[in-house]
Every structure is written in structure tokens, then in C-alpha cells.
């Protein structure tokens, strides 16, 4: 289950069709990152580079040159090297870039200083995302300045630089059928992992043990890495939005909030569930949980073509504010409380974000200062929450330290939406039934 060479070629063709005549686009790969001394973090390809090539090696550069007679898709990458491959693993080499990844031309990365300036020279516009790699920014400018220095001999430097992000990220925002199949699989693996964590959980176990269960399920099903640092927060830790220490013991009577998703074929899932450590919600926990679930369902109901991005968030705010008033945690008229942002003491983040090759995926949320209209193929999270700080002295003690978030991944379809992560229970009754089974 991978994106085909044909689809990668179509993406490059579509991008080049949006570029101005006589232009060039330059996209570097990700680089290996040192973890400590002589060890590196596992390599993960730059999402834009992956989207256009499917090429998974570091130290590579993609160049698109619309109209070039000798081929429009040029790749620079590492050469084959039997000694380095013995130590570090297989390399495709320029030959593999052509044979396996459809490049029209491919050159050793060590030859880039001699070849790429010649591809830039004479082009009127360079499409490049400045600011993402300071080192590569310097190299780009050095090549261009070298061309400028040779103007007296007839060299023609580019006249303009244009950020590539806007065009490319708008393309990435709407997922193809193949991308949706991969994201559906990522959602299924992640859902199974959350079920496993619920079934494993009991008082006295540690947060990191639940994390291990989740990530074991990911890897066992072909998703070797989490899409982000897994959050497993028991008790008061559930009120810390990005809690990643995952080191505390899980206590009887507490809730545990798990925000974790796998990465499958470079596409992310992002799911949150909150459940009782002992398998039974208390009265107050159940009241907050049911309110968050009601808000999430109201947000999901707003996802359909033509509705705008913020309608889901507005729906969750309304439900949560009304519910907090009924529970006595807020006082006042609901419209005024919403206008004043009073709910932000308990619900301080937005209802969701785009999802795709990145967890917080690319794509503008507003176009011309107007919330973006939803289109089939867009994928987002819906994740309202309520977090009552253990230090909040304005509420009764029985509410303090309750943190609940519920999150699913939702794709916009032609006639509504599809929940990609519905394989894990989320009603309180279903969670309790699973945990005591």
C-alpha cells in the first residue's frame, strides 16, 4: 500500500503547470539529525520532498525545470558506495533515482555545485522555500550570487524568488484516493492500539507501560514509528495539553488521557481517548466526559462540503459553554460567555487541525481573510476537550484535576464526511464494557 510512481509523476506535473514559464523549483530532502555523539535519530524524509518523489534517502535535492529539453525532473542524490552500504544500508544511487523513481536525469549529490548553477542560470524565477534550512539557503544564494558575478560575461541570473509553499501546500491539502486509503489504514492501526491500551490499563501500572502497548501495536502492524510523541497522562497530567513525560503511576479513581497516533507510509493518524484507570467513570468524570463527547459529535456533524473550517470549532464552543453552565462551572448567559471567551479557562485550544503527511498538516485555514470552505479530500481532526486544573479554586474540589479530550480523524467526502478512526470506542458505556470484558 504505497503511492504509485504514476501519482508522484502527476503531482510533479500539476506543480509545474502552476509555475511561471522559464522557472525552476528546488526542493531539498531532509537531513540526518544527530541524537548524541555517534548516533542519529531515525531518518524521516521531508514531507514536501516525499510528496513529489517518494524518495526516502537524505542528502538529495529535487529540481523541476519545466520545458527543459533533456528532462524536467532532475534528482541529485548519493552515489552507490559498497563500503558505505555495508555500514549504513542500501542506496539507490542516480541509477535508482531514474529506474525506480522516474527521474529524467540524476546526478551525484557531490556534483551539485557544478551542475545546479547551470540549471538556474537563464531562468527568470526560482521557486524555493527560504527559511527551512539555513545551510541550504546559503548554498542557493551562493549559486545565484556566482551567476550575478558573471553577468559581465553574459550570464543571466534569476530575477525573482518565489516561495513554493503556497502552491505545493494547497496541493497537499486535498488528498487523493490513494492517500485516503493509507490514512484509513493509519487510522485503523491507531484505533486498534487505543483499544489495546484500554484493555491493558489497570491501577498500579505506569503511563509509559501504556505507551509501550500502543507503540507495540503500531509496529506490529507495519507502522514502525509514532507520528508524534505519545501523550499518556493520568490524573492531573491529563490537564497538561502536551504532557509527554509518561512516567507516573496510574492511580485507582483517576482518568487517563492518551493522545497517540501512528505514522503509516509517512501519513499520520492523531487520536485521543480518555478513560478511567479502573474501568469505571465517577459521576463527575462521566458528566465532563459526556459533555466533551457531545461537543465532538456536534463538531463532526458540521463537516461537509461547502461548510467552512471554523463551523466545527464554533459548534464545540457552544456545546461546551452550555454544558459548563448547566454543571455550574460557568455562570452567566451563554452568548455573552462565548463572546467573552469565558470557556477558554477550560477549553483553551481549537477544535482541530489539518492532517496528512504532517500531524499538523499544511494548508491555509483562511483564504482572503475568510474561513476556508471544506472540499472532498480534506482531512482534519476534531478534538474538543475540557481541562479543570487541579489548582482551580473557583470550582468545587470534586471537579479539580479532571482532563478529558476526545479526538478523531475525519475526511470530507462528496456528501458529508467519513470518520477514519471509528474503530475505537468512545461512548462512556462502550469504554466501560470494553475495559471490564
Write out the catalytic residue numbers: 38, 242, 259, 270, 349, 353, 360, 383, 387, 405, 407
d(CA 190, CA 194): 6
For the chain, first and last CA: distance in Å? Answer: 34
Among 118, 105, 106, 107, which residue's Cα sits nearest to residue 144?
Answer: 118
Dihedral (CA of 341, 346, 352, 358) sign: positive
Amino acid at each position: 500500500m504505497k503511492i504509485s510512481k504514476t501519482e508522484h509523476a502527476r503531482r510533479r506535473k500539476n506543480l509545474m503547470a502552476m509555475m511561471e514559464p522559464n522557472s525552476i523549483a528546488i526542493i531539498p530532502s531532509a537531513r540526518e539529525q544527530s541524537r548524541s555523539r555517534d548516533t542519529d535519530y531515525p531518518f524521516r524524509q521531508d514531507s514536501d520532498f516525499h510528496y513529489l518523489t517518494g524518495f526516502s534517502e537524505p542528502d538529495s535535492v529535487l529540481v523541476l525545470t519545466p520545458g527543459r529539453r533533456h528532462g524536467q525532473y532532475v534528482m541529485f542524490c548519493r552515489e552507490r558506495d559498497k563500503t558505505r552500504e555495508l555500514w549504513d544500508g542500501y542506496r539507490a544511487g542516480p541509477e535508482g533515482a531514474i529506474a525506480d523513481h522516474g527521474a529524467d536525469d540524476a546526478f551525484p549529490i557531490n556534483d551539485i555545485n557544478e551542475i545546479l548553477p547551470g540549471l538556474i542560470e537563464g531562468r527568470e524565477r526560482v521557486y524555493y522555500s527560504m527559511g527551512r534550512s539555513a545551510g541550504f539557503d546559503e548554498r542557493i544564494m551562493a549559486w545565484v550570487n556566482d551567476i550575478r558575478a558573471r553577468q559581465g560575461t553574459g550570464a543571466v541570473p534569476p530575477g525573482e524568488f518565489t516561495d513554493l509553499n503556497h502552491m505545493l501546500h494547497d496541493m497537499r491539502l486535498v488528498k487523493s484516493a490513494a492517500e485516503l486509503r493509507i490514512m484509513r489504514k493509519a487510522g485503523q492501526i491507531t484505533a486498534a492500539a487505543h483499544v489495546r491500551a484500554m484493555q491493558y490499563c489497570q491501577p498500579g501500572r505506569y503511563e509509559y507501560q501504556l505507551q509501550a502497548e500502543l507503540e507495540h501495536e503500531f509496529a506490529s502492524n507495519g507502522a514502525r514509528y509514532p507520528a508524534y510523541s505519545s501523550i499518556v497522562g493520568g490524573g492531573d497530567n491529563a490537564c497538561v495539553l502536551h504532557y509527554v513525560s509518561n512516567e507516573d503511576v496510574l492511580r485507582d479513581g483517576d482518568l487517563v488521557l492518551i493522545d497517540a497516533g501512528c505514522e503509516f507510509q509517512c501519513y499520520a493518524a492523531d487520536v485521543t481517548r480518555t478513560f478511567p484507570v479502573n474501568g469505571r467513570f465517577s459521576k463527575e468524570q462521566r458528566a465532563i466526559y459526556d459533555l466533551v463527547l457531545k461537543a465532538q459529535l456536534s463538531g463532526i456533524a458540521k463537516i461537509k462540503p461547502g461548510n467552512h473550517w471554523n463551523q466545527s470549532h464554533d459548534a464545540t464552543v457552544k456545546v461546551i459553554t452550555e454544558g459548563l453552565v448547566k454543571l455550574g462551572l460557568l455562570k452567566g448567559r451563554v452568548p455573552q460567555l462565548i463572546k467573552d471567551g469565558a470557556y477558554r479557562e477550560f477549553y483553551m485550544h481549537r477544535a482541530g487541525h489539518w492532517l496528512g503527511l504532517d500531524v499538523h498538516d499544511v494548508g491555509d485555514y483562511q483564504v482572503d481573510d475568510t474561513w476556508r470552505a471544506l472540499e472532498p479530500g480534506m482531512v482534519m481532526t476534531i478534538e474538543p476537550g475540557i481541562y479543570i486544573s487541579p489548582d482551580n479554586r473557583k470550582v468545587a474540589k470534586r471537579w479539580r484535576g479532571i482532563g478529558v479530550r476526545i479526538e478523531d480523524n475525519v475526511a470530507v467526502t462528496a456528501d458529508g464526511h467519513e470518520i477514519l478512526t471509528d474503530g475505537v470506542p468512545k461512548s462512556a458505556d462502550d469504554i466501560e464494557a470494553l475495559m471490564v470484558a
